[in-house]
Every structure is written in structure tokens, then in C-alpha cells.
Amino acid sequence: MLEAEVLNFSLFCVNLSSTETEEMKILFSLFVLIFLSQCKPKEDKIIAEFAGKPAVPTSLKNTHAEILDHIHHLTLTKDSSVQVALKLEELMLHHFKEEENIILPPLGLLPALAKGEIPKESQDLPLFTDQLKTQMDHMSAEHQLIKAYIEELKQASKKENLPAISIFENEVSQHATSEEEIFFPASILVGEYLKLKAGEKL
């Protein structure tokens, strides 16, 4: 699928103005970065399952569900933007699944840690969060790819549908910023905190 998407995206860039093309070249580079990241050997990929893996906070899962509901609504539009909306929906389903399997679970421990409690089953979590550090660039690149798809969606949509897309764009942008500035670093910090507490017991 990604090979075809690289070709489609490059053809899309051909029809843009020079200024737009320069912006899209940057996004296309990020697109290729994601493509190459998928070519890593299987053994290099993160181990997502382990005993005692915390549950993702309900509030974050609900936010993801709301965003997916909004993009699904855009796929029902009767114009040429439907195919772009479907591609965006597929990407966001994949992206949110990655986040909920790999990046966000450590945040489920925050309420217990804030009370000074360290669940016994969290002993393997630092090994898990150490792997997260290698995933940050990949997840940020996917955020940029989502941004590029939303821009493509705006280009393909009828004028009367642009307000709804702009609202969706702002919603996604704010959520991505919160993830990169707060949630992703916090997930790693949970593991670092558990390392410190484990060291105190030695």
C-alpha cells in the first residue's frame, strides 16, 4: 500500500504552485521516512505486549474515538474528496492503534504513581518505555503525514465543506501537539521514574 501512496502523493505535488510544491516536498520527505520505517527488520520493532501492561487512560481512548468518528463523517461526503478522506481514515486508524499499543499505556500508571503506589506488575515497564524512545520520530512523522492528508482533503473538497474540515484540522492539530509535548514524554518519564524507585531499593 505504501509504495502506491508514495507515487500518488508525488503525482499530487506536480499539480501544485511553486510555493505549495516546496511545502509538499518537505511533507513528501516525511512520507518517505515513514515508508522506510516500515521496512525495518521485524526484530527491530518494539515489543508491544508484556505481563502487567497498563491500560491506556479512558480519556485518551475517548478522544481518539471522537476524532475517528469525525473523519468517518467526512468519508460520507458526496464529492471528489471521499477517496482522500478514506485514505486519511485508514492512516489514523493505524496511527491510533500504534499509539494505544505502544506509546500511551504507561500513562495508565499515573494515578497510582501520584499516590505513591508502585504496582508490583509494573516491574517490566522500564524495559518497555526504553523502547519508546526509538519511536518518537516515527510517531511525529506520522503526525506530519496526517497533516499532509488533511491539506490534500481541503484541496479536493467543495467550498461548502471547508468549515467542517477546518474544525477537524484544528482538533487533530491540538491533539497531536498535546501528544508530542505532554503525553509522549510523560510515557517515557513513567519508565524513568520506575527505574529510580527500583534503584532506591537496591
Task: Give 28-40 pLDDT, tens digit per residue.
Answer: 555 555 554 554 4
76 and 142 housed in the same domain: yes
Question: Is residue 17 scored above 80 in pLDDT?
Answer: no
Which pLDDT belongs to residue 39?
A: 41
Region 1-13: what's the mean pLDDT?
A: 50
Say yes or no: 60 and 144 in one domain.
yes
Instruction: For residues 4 and 32, state if they share a domain.
Output: yes
Q: Give the whole-angstrom CA distance, residue 8 versus residue 52.
A: 42
Does residue 45 belong to any structural domain of this protein?
no
Residue 102 near residue 53, CB atoms below 8 Å: no
Same domain? For 102 and 5 the reply is no
Q: What is the pTM of this model?
A: 0.75
Of residues 71 and 43, which shows the higher confidence score? 71
Residue 82 has pLDDT above 60, yes or no: yes
**The three cell numbers locating residue 136:** 518518537
Q: Domain check: are 33 and 61 in the same one?
A: no
- Tell me how far CA of residue 183 lies from CA of 39, 48, 107, 178, in angstroms: 27, 17, 8, 6
Written as nine digits, the cell of 94 is: 493505524
pLDDT at residue 190 greater than cutoff 80: yes
The dihedral region occupied by 55, where left means phi > 0, alpha psi between -120 and 50, and beta the remainder, is beta
C-alpha–C-alpha distance, residues 168 and 8, integer Å: 23
Q: Residue 132 domain-assigned?
A: yes
Which of 56, 122, 64 is CA-nearest to residue 96? 64
pLDDT of residue 178: 96
pLDDT band at 127, cuts 50/70/90?
A: confident
Q: Does 150 share its domain with 182? A: yes
Decide if 8 is inside a domain.
Answer: yes
Residues 122 and 168 in one domain: yes
In a domain, 112, yes or no: yes
Specify whether the CB–CB gap between 37 and 62 falls below 8 A.
no
Per DSSP, 49 falls in state -
Q: Is the pLDDT of residue 11 over 70?
A: no
